[in-house]
A and B are shown apart, each in its own frame.
Chain A
Amino acid sequence: MLHRALASLLCALGAAALGLGIASATVWRPSDTLVAQAQGAPGTSLLVTDPGVLDLAADEVTVRASATSGMVVIALGRSADVDAWVGDDAYTRVTGLAGWHVLATEKVAASAPEAANPPADAAGDPSAAPDPAAEDPAAEDPAADAAPDPAGSDLWVDQASGERAATLEWTRQDGRWSVLVAATAGGVPSVALEWPQVVTTPWRVPGVVVGSLLLLIGIAWWVLILVAGRRRARVAAAPMPEPAALAPAEPALPLTRRQMRELEEQRSRGKRHGRETVLSRFPMPVPGPKAPDESQEGRERRGRHGGGEADRHGSDDVTAPQAVAVARPPGEGTRGRHAAAAPTASASEQSRSRRSEQTRGAPASGRTAGGLLGRLRRRPAGTPAPAPTAPVEPVAVTPAPPLFTTQRAGTPAASADAWRRAWGLTGADSTQGPVTTAATPTEEPPQAPPRRRRPDGSER
C-alpha cells in the first residue's frame, strides 16, 4: 500500500510539474509587451513625456496616441526642444509609471508670460478691465488657442499624425528624448506607451524535464507493483492445489472420524501458525556431538515421562511425541512427572524450560501437530523420516497451550501406534506403550540415535 501511495504521489507530482512547466510557458506566459497609458489632464491639448520615460522599460517603444476628436500629432525630439516648443502652454507631463499599466502624469499650467499678456492688453484698454475680464482671455486662451500644431517642425526627429489616432515607433538613442502628443483640434490627448518585454520561461524546461522524470518513475513503479502483484497472485494460486493434492493421497489410509476432525483442526492451526512453520524449516544447525546426547536423554526421559502419562491417561493416552520431545535436564524429570497431573501446564513449562536451556541446540523447531499427523499417516509408506519430527513438535506448540490439550486429548491411538511403529516398537496396543518405552532405553539406543539423527539432519 505504501508503495502504491508513493508511486501515485510520484505520478501526481510529475504530472503537476509537467503541467505547471508547460503552463508557465503557455497560459501563464507573461505578455510580450508592457503597455502603460495616460490621459491628458483636462484643459491641456499637449502631453509631454519626461526624458527617460520613453526607454523606461525597453529600448524600443511604440507610442500610440489618440485624441477625442480631430487630428492627433506625435512628435519626438530632444527633451529640451520639446520643452522649448511647448513653451508656456499648459500641458500634461508624463513623469514615469504610476503602476504597471498606468503612466504618472502631472498637469503643468500655462506659465506667467502668457498669463501676463492679457493683463497687459487689459491695461492697454482704458479703464474698464477688471480682473475677471483679464483672466477670462487667459483661461480661454488654451481652449481657443488649444491647437498648437507641432507637425512639421524641424525640431522633431520623428513624428506621426493621424485622425484621432497615431502611432510612432522609437528606438532608444543616446541623449534625452521626449515625445510630444498634441491634439490639434483642441481635445484632450491620451497616450499609450508599449514596450516589448523579453519574456523568459525559466520553468518550462525544468518543469517538463522533472515532471516527465517523476511521471515516468511513478509509472514504472506502478508497473513494477502491478507485475509483482500478478506474480504473487500466481504464486498464491499455485500452492492451493497442494493441500488438495495431499488430500487425495490421504485416502490411501482410511481416516477415522477423529482423524478427520484432527486434520481439520490441524489445518486451521497450521494456518494460524504459518510463521512458526516457516521458521521450523530453517532451524539452526545443531552441533554434531550434542545431538546424540540429546536424543538419548530425550529418549530416556521420554520413556519415563511417557510411562507416567500413559499411566494416568490410560489407554487413550498420550501423544508419545510430546513426552519424548521434552529434552529436559535430568534433574527436571521428577518435576515433569509431577506436572503430568496438569498436562497443559507441564507441557508449556517443559517447553519453556527447554527453550531457555537449549535455545541454540534445538531452536523452536515448532512444527505443529499437523505435520506430525501427516507424516504419521505417511509413515506406512515406509518413510522413517516423519517419526523423529514428532518428538520435537510439542516444544514448538507450547505457545498455544490449548492446542496441547486438544492434541493430547485427541491424539488417537492410531497415531500412537504409528509412532511406536516408526520407532520400531511393537504393539499396536496402546496400553503397552508404557512398557515398551520403558524398555526402549536399554534395547534401542544403538538404533534410535542414528534414525533420529538422520531426520534431524534432513529436516533441519
Chain B
Amino acid sequence: MTRVRAVALSTAVLFLAGCSVPLPTPQPDALPAAMQPAMSVEQAEGIVAEVSASLADADAALSVDVPGSRVTGPAEAIRSVQYLLVTAGLADVLTVIPSSAQTLVLPTTDEWPRTVMVVTEPPEDLQAPLLLTLVQTEPREPYQLWSWVRLFPGAQTPALAQPELGSAPVAPDAPELAVSPTEVLAQYVDVLTNRDASPYAAAFTVDPLRQGIAQTKDAFVAVVGANGSLTETYQPDAAGTYSMATADGGAIVVGTVRTATTITLVDSTLKIGDQTAAILGTDTLKSNLAITWLSVVAFAVPPAGSDAPIQVLGAEHSRIEVTGA
C-alpha cells in the first residue's frame, strides 16, 4: 500500500512538474543599433492635425492665447501680428497653413527638444507650400508650431530621408555641415547687412527675402530722404535655429533674423503704409518710427566638403513691432 501510494505520489509530482511552466519574463526588443524616429508617421500626422486644429481655434479667436495653444516662438509673434492686422480690418494678411503634409521630416532622437519639419500641401490659394517647424521642448510639452516659411517659387528641398527612417536632428554648431547652422545665420545677416560687399554673398543663392529687405530699406531711405535719418540693423534672433539632416548629409536649417528699422524725422511728417499704420494705430509720423521685423528663413546647407552654395528655400518676413510717434 505504501509503495503504491509512493508510486502514485511520485507520478503526480512528475506530472505536475512536467505541467508547470516557468513564469515568463519580459523580453523586450533590444535597443536598435540605429536610432529610430521618435514617432511614427501616424503620430506625426496626428500632431500636425492637432497643431492645425489648435491654429484653427486661434484663427477663430484671432488670438494665440487660446487654451491648448500650439503656436510658439517666431510663429506666435508673427501670427499675433497677423491677428492684429485682421482685427484692424486688413484682408489677406493671414497666412493660410494647410493641415495636410506632403513630406514629414521626423527626428531620430530620444532627447529634447525635438523637432519635426513638415512640408505642407500647397494651400488652396495656389501659393507655395509651407515648411513648418514643430518643436517639443520637453517631454511633457506638446509639439508646437515654432515657425512656418513660404517656400520660394522654384525652390527645391534636398532629398529627405523617409519618415519611417527618420532624420537626425542637427545641432546648431554641427561640424558635419559646410557651415554650421549658427554660422549660416551669421553669414546671412552679414549678407543682408553688406549686401554684395559681403564675403558670403556668393555663398548664398539670391533669394526674394534678401531682395525684398533691400528694396524695403531702399524705399524707406528714399522716402525719408533728407528729412531725417534711417538706420537698419540685422541680427540673428535669439530664438535660435532648428536643423534637420537631409539625405545627402546636409541639413535644412531654419533660423530667424531680426531686422530693426529706425527712422528719425527732422521737422517733417511721414505717411506710412497700411500694415505699419494698422499696427501703430496711426499712419502719420512726426518724429520717429521704429519697426522690428522678424524673418524666418529656411536654408538648405550642403554637407561639409561641399562647395555648393547655401540655398535659401523660403522665408516669412513680418513686422512684429512698430513704435513711433
Q: Which residues of A contact B (CB under 8 A)?
A: 50-53, 56-57, 78-81, 84-85, 87, 95-97, 99-100, 148, 150, 152-155, 157, 174-176
Contacts and interface: CB of A to CB of B under 8 A. Distances in A.
Given A87-B139, A153-B142, A154-B143, A100 B39 contact: no
A53 B43 CA distance: 23
Nearest to A176: B28
Given A84-B112, A174-B29, A154 B23 contact: no
Looking at B26, B27, B32, B40, the one whose CB has the most chain A CB atoms below 10 A away is B26
B139 A81 contact: yes
B24 A57 contact: yes
B193 interface: no
A446 to B, nearest CB: 77
A53 B26 contact: yes
B43 A157 contact: yes
Nearest to B110: A80
Given A85-B140, A87-B139, A95 B26 contact: yes
Contacts of B31: 176
B67 to A, nearest CB: 12
Contacts of A80: 110
Nearest to A53: B26
Nearest to B26: A52
A96 B26 contact: yes
Nearest to A85: B139
B28 A79 contact: yes
11 contacts: A50-B28, A52-B29, A80-B110, A85-B139, A87-B139, A95-B26, A100-B23, A148-B140, A153-B139, A154-B39, A154-B50
A155 B28 contact: no
B77 to A, nearest CB: 23
Interface of B: prevailing SS: loop
A51 B140 contact: no
B270 interface: no
A155 B43 CA distance: 8
Contacts of B26: 50-53, 56, 95-96
Contacts of A79: 28
A57 B32 CA distance: 22
Given A51-B26, A57-B24, A84-B112, A154 B140 contact: no
A99 B29 contact: no
Interface string B130-156: 000000100110110000000000000
Contacts of A100: 23
Given A57-B24, A79-B28, A157-B40, A152 B142 contact: yes
B47 A154 contact: yes
B46 interface: yes
B2 interface: no
Nearest to A148: B140
A176 B35 CA distance: 12
A85 B27 CA distance: 23
A95 B27 CA distance: 11
B36 interface: yes
Contacts of A87: 139-140
A84 B139 contact: yes
B25 A96 contact: yes
Interface in B1-44: 23-29, 31-32, 36, 38-40, 43
Contact of B27 (A52, A99, A150, A154): A52
B110 A153 contact: no
Contacts of A99: 23
A157 B136 CA distance: 16
A154 B136 CA distance: 9
Nearest to A195: B24
Q: Which 6 A-B pairs have the closest CB atoms?
A: A52-B26, A52-B28, A51-B28, A84-B139, A85-B139, A80-B110
A172 B205 CA distance: 49
A190 B47 CA distance: 29
B139 A97 contact: no
Contacts of B50: 154
B142 to A, nearest CB: 5
Interface string B81-112: 00000000000000000000000000000101
Contacts of A84: 110, 112, 139
Contacts of B143: 154
B36 A175 contact: yes
Interface string B283-306: 000000000000000000000000
Contacts of B47: 154
A52 B47 CA distance: 26
Nearest to A178: B28
Contacts of A81: 38, 110, 139
Contacts of B24: 56-57, 97
